[in-house]
Amino acid sequence: MSVDIYNYDLKPGKKTLIGNAAMVEGALAAGCRFFAGYPITPQNDVPERMSVRLPQLKGRFIQMEDEIGSISAVIGASFAGLKAMTSTSGPGFSLMQESLSWAACVEVPIVVCDVQRSGPGSGIVSLPHQSDIIQAQYGGNGEYKVIAYAPASCQELFDFTFEAFNDAEKWRIPVIVFSDAWLGHVREQVIIPTLEEINEKIIPRKPMPDEIKGWVPFSKKVNDEIVVPNAVPTIGYDSFPDWLPSVSHNPTGFPTEDSLVSYKMIEAICDKILKNEDKICKTKSYYLDDADIAIVTYGFPSRPALAAVRQARKEGIKVGLLRLLTVWPFPTKIMHELSEKVKKIIDVEINWGQMLIWMKANVADNTQIHFIPQISKLHEPKEILSKIKEVA
């Protein structure tokens, strides 16, 4: 295989990129060398840029006949040894759900970028809407857990896409990176790291484990802890089992019709993420030390929310902001701790209340949760400020 995983040739330093381009460069820096996609607004810049950059880095690009073909090709390429990614928007993301459920069952590391647009149906192609948050976790059939990132700027699109590939390799899970129609086209400065900085942080693809004797290709529970295998079964190597089924299986890969084996498989797939919430969830807090009210948000609305919080502080209101950098797994412990410190929480999302349900389920009793919905446009800081004043 003549694919140079560590060659990344964008000059380090400051560069002005649109959001979709920053996502592409972050993926290429993480070692992604396979992309399969299908055109859909508003993410068309992603396959267009990939079709030029990947052959330069000796990677593979293909425009498939539909989204289901794209995600299937990505899973095949990941099993054949390359870090692989696809990107789509809302309608395409719905088509990919069965394959995401398959990818979670067979524990293959892939990255899916969802540049969300207004929905449902064909919606409005050029307006933002955080419409696929619950779908990312519960859209596919069966039970599985994914990791999802919600960046809010071009620099974060670069950094979080890089982290998404690392998380996929470490936890052997499909990882989703959320963007939206406006964030994908914002033009901002991105600082490209040097090759040394990239090589320090990257988790490389490992086709063979250090010790093949006694190695099993899938996660299993050992002494109350889920052990995730440290290599990816790759076609062409001995790490690939003789039969890798898409049906429920035991840790060695043999299929089963036994309910106990199926129970253990679900326990391994779900608990490897849920029990490691502390290591996977990332949040960022602003002005929360002495706050009475907290705004909890994620993604693009974080920016007007921060502006509103700063203005409110100038006016003397004790308000703070908690940004969820990873939306899934939901940070249940952090949410609960926050609700014990502040008694009033304001949820800011561009939808009709998707994370709202999760927040309500994970807060202490007597916590008031307020909600500022918005559809197809970004919240304005004055809207959030007036809600803060109303609640205070």
Partner 1 sequence: MSLGDIKGEADLPEHPLVANKVIYLAKLFGGVKSLFCRGCGYGAIAQWIGNIFYEDKLDIHKYPIINGVGCYTMIPIIMPGKILMNLHGRGLAVATGIKMANPELKPIIIAGDGDLLSIGTNHFIHAARRNLDCVCLLLHNLTFGMTGGQVAPTAQLGQIASTARHGYMQEMIDAVELAKVAGATYITRCTTAQPIQFMKYFRKALKHKGFALIDVVSQCVTYFGRHNKMAEPVEVFNWIRKNTVSIKQAKSMSKEDLKKKFVTGEFLEIQKPTLMSEYLKLIEKSQEVK
Question: Where does this chain bind partner 1 (CB under 8 A)?
Answer: 1, 9, 34, 36, 52, 55-56, 58, 60, 62, 64-66, 68-70, 72-82, 84, 98-99, 102, 235-237, 240-247
- Which CB sits closer to partner 1, 92 or 320? 92
- Which CB sits closer to partner 1, 34 or 328? 34
- Which CB sits closer to partner 1, 35 or 160? 35
Shortest distance in whole angstroms from residue 299 CB to partner 1: 30
A 10 A CB-CB count for 288 gives 17
Shortest distance in whole angstroms from residue 126 CB to partner 1: 28
Shortest distance in whole angstroms from residue 38 CB to partner 1: 11
Report how far apart the first and last C-alpha atoms of the chain are (Å, whole number).
Answer: 62
Shortest distance in whole angstroms from residue 217 CB to partner 1: 12
Secondary structure letter of residue 194 according to DSSP:
P
Shortest distance in whole angstroms from residue 161 CB to partner 1: 20
CA distance 270 to 290: 36
Dihedral of CA atoms 103, 109, 113, 118 in degrees, nearest 10, equals 30
Shortest distance in whole angstroms from residue 105 CB to partner 1: 10
Q: Are 96 and 140 in contact (CB under 8 A)?
A: no
CA distance 267 to 276: 13
- Which CB sits closer to partner 1, 243 or 263? 243
CA distance 334 to 326: 12
- Which CB sits closer to partner 1, 246 or 368? 246
Dihedral of CA atoms 92, 97, 102, 108 in degrees, nearest 10, equals 60
- Which CB sits closer to partner 1, 19 or 81? 81
- Which CB sits closer to partner 1, 102 or 218? 102
Shortest distance in whole angstroms from residue 207 CB to partner 1: 11
Shortest distance in whole angstroms from residue 50 CB to partner 1: 12
Beta-carbon contacts of 96 under 8 Å, excluding residues fewer than 6 positions away, are: 67, 68, 70, 71, 86, 88, 112
The count of C-alpha atoms lying within 13 angstroms of the C-alpha of 153, restricted to the half-sphere facing its C-beta, is 11
DSSP run (H or E) holding 319: strand 319-324
- Which CB sits closer to partner 1, 144 or 240? 240
Beta-carbon contacts of 103 under 8 Å, excluding residues fewer than 6 positions away, are: 71, 75, 110, 174
CA distance 352 to 149: 20
